[in-house]
Amino acid sequence: MKQTDRQHKGIHHISVLAGDAQRNAEFYVQKLGMRLVKKSVNQDDPGTYHLFYGNAEGSPGSGLTFFPWPMARQGKPGVGESVAVGLSVPSGSENYWAEHLESAGIRLDTYTDLFGKKALFFRDPDGLQLILVIDERVDSIPHWEQSSVPSGAAIRGFWGTTLRLNDHTATAAILKELFSFEETAQDGRSRLYTTDAPIGGSVILEEADPMPSSNGRGTVHHVAFRAKDDEELESMRQKVIAMGMQPTAHIDRHWFHSIYFHTPGGVLFEIATDGPGYAVDEDADKLGQKLILPPWLESRRETIENRLPVISV
């Protein structure tokens, strides 16, 4: 693999279960300053939202998406799941964030070192573990001009995620062989895998003993990794099959094309193409302002809109 290819490998998006949609949007847009890049519906349950937050362009490596269900019970993450989402912020922004979280009423749980980077640990309103990672590699990535957070501190995309596993071996092989990650550090039972991508290029595999867990709000549904185009998506799909797993066929998610597969470690993985992207169906400067439906749901717009609660940010 060429060195430049590893700059485009890594996490594409991460999808999480949430509770109240308005509370979710207020937290990520007003408090964390992320951009709502797509307001759509859950394609498998169009009576509920699918909200996408990202960086200025909603580029691959920045998409944190939520399926809000107002009645969702509280989840508790366990083994075989992504248990934390790391978001990268520019160098020197740690003091801003420590003060900002406090003034926004968000409790900072820990301010510590994460594989050599300064990191602030806190939770979203549904209990999702978030980590702001100070990472100078994102200093040059453009910030969203209308963010409530100043340019020198605004979130630029994913740092990465933490997968909690009984045994790291099988998942490590997938990260290496399919997604071009390399093991670059170890700390106790946690191992860091990285690519050269400035965002979305870090995954921590944390070994842990079985623990009680339940699905619900605040838990990660799946982690998606990047494929450059349909051709690479298919060649990766063939590798998934060769590794003994059972991927879905290609699914048209409108803003990207995807396959899904369960990994032996338990985490649901997706592979998603970089394109066509969130600007395929609305102006790049107006992303997220109105409800966007994929073309095959457009004929049901009125019914769908009537069922959805209004959200405003």
In sequence order, which residues have a C-beta less than 8 Å from that of residue 155 and are 6 or more positions away? Answer: 32, 33, 34, 55, 87, 88, 89, 132, 149
Nearest to 160 by CA among 308, 14, 54: 14
- 62 forms part of the interface with Zn ion (CB under 5 A): no
By the rule CB under 5 A, 263 interacts with Zn ion = no
- In the complex, the smallest distance separating the C-beta of residue 310 from Zn ion, rounded to whole angstroms, is 25
Pairing of strands 45-54, 35-42: antiparallel
Residue 137 or 250: the one with the smaller Cβ distance to Zn ion is: 250
What are 30's two structure tokens?
């007003």
Stretch of 19-27, 96-104, 121-129, 223-231 lying at the interface with Zn ion (CB under 5 A):
223-231
310 CB-near residues (< 8 Å, 6+ apart): none
Q: Which residue, chain included where needed, has tokens 């309103």?
A: 125
First to last CA, the chain: 43
Residues composing the chain: 313
- Closest separation between CB of residue 272 and Zn ion, Å? 6
Among 20, 81, 124, 270, binds Zn ion (CB under 5 A): 270
Q: Residue 13 CB, nearest distance to Zn ion (Å)?
A: 6
CB of 3 to Zn ion, least distance (A): 28
Nearer to Zn ion, 144 or 225 (CB): 225
Q: Which is nearer to Zn ion, 124 or 270 (CB)?
A: 270
Residue 255 contacts Zn ion per CB under 5 A: no
Instruction: Specify whether the CB–CB gap between 251 and 204 falls below 8 A.
Output: no
Judged by CB, which is closer to Zn ion: 135, or 270? 270
Amino acid letter for position 271: I
Nearer to Zn ion, 191 or 222 (CB): 222
Kindly state the DSSP code that residue 29 receives in the 8-state scheme.
Answer: I
Q: Which of 15, 93, 171, 194 binds Zn ion (CB under 5 A)?
A: 15
* 223 binds Zn ion, rule: CB under 5 A: no
26 and 66 Cβ atoms separated by less than 8 Å: no
Nearest-5° Cα angle at 231, 277 to 177:
100
**With respect to Zn ion, which residue has the nearer C-beta, 120 or 272?**
272
Total residues at the site for Zn ion (CB under 5 A)?
Answer: 3
Q: Which residue in the block uniquely carries the two structure tokens 């990465």?
A: 160
- Span near Zn ion by CB under 5 A; candidates 148-156, 177-185, 266-274, 301-309: 266-274
Determine if 224 is a binding residue for Zn ion (CB under 5 A).
Answer: yes
Q: Which stretch binds Zn ion (CB under 5 A): 38-46, 201-209, 270-278, 287-295?
A: 270-278
**Cβ nearer to Zn ion, comparing 15 with 180:** 15
| 85 within 8 A of 129, measured Cβ to Cβ | yes
Chain contacts with Zn ion (rule: CB under 5 A): 15, 224, 270
